Amino acid sequence: MGLVIGGFMRLVRSLTRRKLRTTLTIVGISVGIWALVVMSSMANKIGALVEGGSIYYKDKIIVIDATTLGFGFGSTPLPLAIADQIRAVPGVAVTWPEVQMLFDSEAAAAGFGLPDLISGTVAGADQGREQFQVRAARGRLLTAGDEGSSNVVLGSDLARKFGKQPGDAITIRGREFTVAGVLEPTLTAPDTTALLPLEAAQRLLADSAPLAIRQGMVAAQLVSQIIVYPEEGVDIAVLATAIENQVDHVQTLTGKDFDEQIGSSVAIFNAIILGVALISLIVGGLSVINTMAMSVVERTREIGIKRAIGASRGRIMREIVLEAGLIGLIGGTIGIVLGAVVVVIANEAGRDSGIILFLLTPNTAAFALAFSTVLGMVAGIAPAWTAARLDPVEALRYE
C-alpha cells in the first residue's frame, strides 16, 4: 500500500513541476465535469419524473373530454355519468373518476418540471387496481371515509414548500383544508400533488368554472378524467379504441401516448444538455493533450535518460498516460464536488418555491469520475506515443 502511494506521489510530483499549467488544465477538466454533473442531475430529475409517469400510465387508460389537447392539467370537465357508460364497454374492470387541476389557479401549466397539482378521488374506489402506491411519511393517507371532509394529503415537496405538517390548516384555491398526512418522496408527480377527497375537489373544480357556466352546473356531477383499469389480459390499445367508439365525446390516453408525447421531448432535451456537457469535456480533453504534449517536450531529456537506463517504450507511455489520467481524476473530483455544491444549493433555494430541478445520483458521480479519468488517459495517448518513440540518443542531447 505504501508503495502504491509512493508511486502515486511520484506522479503527483511530476505533475506539480509546472504548477500553473497543471492547475489550469485541471480547472478546464473541472469545469467540463461540473457542467456534466449539473446537467446530468437535471436530466436525472426529469428522467425520474418521466419514468414515474411512464410507469403510472402503463397499465391504465385515461378517458378525457374530446376537446382536451393531450396530457394537460386543465382539461374540460366530463360528466361523472360517463363512468357508467365506460364501465359498460367489455374489457373494462374498474373506473376511477378523478378531478385533476392546477394547485394554484394563477400558475401557468407550462414550465420546468411538473406544476403543483390537485388530485381528487374517492380513496379506495380503484378497488386495489392502482399499482403506483404512495405511502404516508407522516400522518395518514385518505380513505373513503374522508369524503365530505376537508382533509388533504400533501406530496413531500408541497408540504416542504408550504411548511405544513399533519394537523395544520392550509388554504387551497380559497377554501380551507386540514392536512391529514404527508407523502413519502416518489421523485415524480405525487411529490407536488395535493390529494383531496373527490367531493372537495369537485367543489374546487366548480369554483374555477366561468360564472355563466357555473350557474347551470352541479358540482358533484363533474370530474376531469376517468381512469380505466382493464380486465386481465385485455389489450390496452384495443380497449382504448373500443371506448372511443362506444362512448360519445371522449378521447383516451394510454401509456404509449405518454411515452410518445412526453418521452420523446424529454429525450431531445437530454440530448441537448448532454451535448453541451460533452462539448465542454472535449475542450477539457484538448487542453490535457496540449499540457501533456508540452510536458513531453520539456521532459525530452528525462525521457532519454530513462530510455537509456532501460525503460521500455511501454513504460514511458504508461507513465505519461497515467499522469494524464491523474489530471483527469483530480479535475473530475473537483468538478463533481463543485457540481454537488451547485445541485444542493439550487435545490435548497428552489425548495421554497417548490422547484426541485436536480437529482445527483451515485451513478452520475461515478460515471463522471470514470469519464474524466478515461478522458485524461485517452488525451494522454498521443503525447505518450510521441514520448515513447523518441530516439534515446537524440533525447539525451536535448537541452
- Residue 381 CB, nearest distance to other proteins (Å)? 19
The Cα 306–Cα 390 span in angstroms is 11
Question: Can you tell me which residue has the cell 390537485?
Answer: 118
Select 330 or 360, whichever has its Cβ closest to other proteins.
330
If 0-12 CB within 10 Å is exposed, 13-18 middle and 19+ buried, where does residue 224 land?
buried
Span from 69-77, 231-239, 299-307, 358-366 in contact with other proteins (CB under 8 A): 299-307
- Residue 336 CB, nearest distance to other proteins (Å)? 28
Other beta carbons within 10 angstroms of residue 24's beta carbon come to 12
Q: Where are the alpha helices (DSSP H) in the chain?
A: 2-15, 19-58, 82-87, 156-162, 198-208, 211-215, 236-246, 255-258, 264-298, 300-308, 313-351, 362-389, 392-397
Question: Within a 13 Å sphere around the CA of 338, how many CA atoms are in the beta-carbon half?
Answer: 18
The Cα 111–Cα 207 span in angstroms is 24
Find the binder of other proteins among 5, 8, 17, 167 (CB under 8 A). Answer: 17
The H or E element that residue 78 is part of is: strand 78-79
- Residue 11 CB, nearest distance to other proteins (Å)? 10
Select 97 or 380, whichever has its Cβ closest to other proteins.
380
Instruction: Kindly state whether residue 313 participates in binding other proteins, applying the rule CB under 8 A.
Output: yes
- Residue 311 CB, nearest distance to other proteins (Å)? 5
- Kindly state the number of chain residues that form the binding site for other proteins, as judged by CB under 8 A: 24
For residue 47, what are the contacts with CB-CB under 8 A and spacing of at least 6? 266, 270
Instruction: Kindly state whether residue 305 participates in binding other proteins, applying the rule CB under 8 A.
Output: yes
Select 18 or 256, whichever has its Cβ closest to other proteins.
18
Instruction: Kindly state whether residue 220 participates in binding other proteins, applying the rule CB under 8 A.
Output: no
Instruction: Kindly state whether residue 14 participates in binding other proteins, applying the rule CB under 8 A.
Output: yes
Instruction: Kindly state whether residue 301 participates in binding other proteins, applying the rule CB under 8 A.
Output: yes
Instruction: Kindly state whether residue 20 participates in binding other proteins, applying the rule CB under 8 A.
Output: no
Instruction: Kindly state whether residue 7 participates in binding other proteins, applying the rule CB under 8 A.
Output: yes
Select 236 or 303, whichever has its Cβ closest to other proteins.
303
Nine-digit cell string for 270: 437530454
If 0-12 CB within 10 Å is exposed, 13-18 middle and 19+ buried, where does residue 368 land?
buried
- Residue 307 CB, nearest distance to other proteins (Å)? 7
Q: Give residues in contact with other proteins (CB under 8 A).
A: 3, 6-7, 10, 13-14, 17, 301-302, 304-313, 315, 391-393, 396
